[in-house]
Amino acid sequence: MHTHSSVSDGTETPAELMRAAKEAGIGTVALTDHDSTAGWDAATAAARAEQITLIPGMEFSTRVDYSSVHLLAYLFDPTDVGIVTEITRIRAARLTRAEQMVQRIAFDYAITWDDVLAQTTLDATVGRPHIADALVARGHALTRSDAFAGILHWKSGYYQPHYAPDPLRAVELVRAAGGVPVIAHPATRGAADVIPEARLARLAQAGLFGLELEHRENRPEATAHLAVLAEKYGLFITGSSDYHGTGKPNRLGENTTTPEVLERIIDQGRGSAPRYA
């Protein structure tokens, strides 16, 4: 229920990703590129050819102060004006932000903006992973993860945030576009920094469907705490790999969502239909 293609920062095209899902023995897969639905058509054709079901989705960038909060959105209308306006703005801000980060990095390491562009496909949602790939290509880091642990870390001094809406607004936009919103990897920080209960209550009231508690980057105590809150506020629990091809160690199918929860998502999704095999 959470994968990335070359439309954002995954290393495989949407069609290659559908073939990889088939090979991994997965029957239903969601494509959730960052702030873009540009991969939906190619993924639909490939999923049909591979006889697997595709849930069209997106990972919506949102932000609270300096922390980014990722919102998975499923089965929304990709032509909805509210969503299109917001993701157009986010993608533009991501581009400016990446360029500014590269300018700062270039004071200390040989790297140019063209190096980064060489790592992206046309109109891709640009992020730190593309800068990481450029750093690897220049020999300044061994892998993407190595770049994230060093030069691209938020504490490195080169980091800069980008514009993104508040999660509450994003939840409202997704529901207004007929979609189903789930907070991605909500427990990656320590229990103390986890989404506060009052905020979660407001998000639930605005239509939040669930929490992606089964994800390799969630921390155990924070996850346990959120599981209690999910129960209290009637939120569903999902699990997914957050696959990025060779860009991250996460493997397809390492976490999965139960058929019962998937059925609820499909029931509530009114903006787009699942692409059945």
Binding mask of the shown chain, residues 155 to 174, with x at each position contacting Fe ion by CB under 5 A: --------------------
Stretch that binds ligand AMP, among 80-88, 144-152, 186-194, 203-211 (CB under 6 A): 144-152
Joined together, the tokens standing for residue 242 give 């957050």
Residue from 70, 175, 215, 275 touching Fe ion (CB under 5 A): that is 70
Of residues 144 and 275, the one with the C-beta less far from ligand AMP = 144
Least separation, in Å, of the C-beta of 15 and ligand AMP? 21
CB 95 within 8 A of CB 87: no
Give the total of residues touching Fe ion (CB under 5 A): 4
Residue from 63, 91, 128, 275 touching ligand AMP (CB under 6 A): that is 128
Joined together, the tokens standing for residue 7 give 């439309």
Binding of residue 248 to Fe ion (CB under 5 A): no
CB 178 within 8 A of CB 83: no
Of residues 129 and 165, the one with the C-beta less far from ligand AMP = 129
CB 116 within 8 A of CB 102: yes
Residue from 93, 103, 109, 145 touching ligand AMP (CB under 6 A): that is 145
CA angle 92, 94, 95 (to 5 degrees): 65
Give the neighbor-by-neighbor strand order of the sheet with 180-183: 28-31, 53-64, 67-74, 180-183, 210-214, 236-239
Q: Which does 184 bind (CB under 5 to 8 A by kind): Fe ion, Zn ion, ligand AMP, none?
A: Fe ion
Task: Tell me which residue has its CB nearest to ligand AMP.
Answer: 127
Alpha-carbon span 83 to 145, nearest angstrom? 31
Q: Nearest Cα to 78, choosing from 88, 63, 66?
A: 88
For Fe ion, the binding residues (CB under 5 A) are: 59, 70, 184, 242
Residue ranges binding ligand AMP (CB under 6 A) = 9, 127-129, 144-145, 148, 247-248
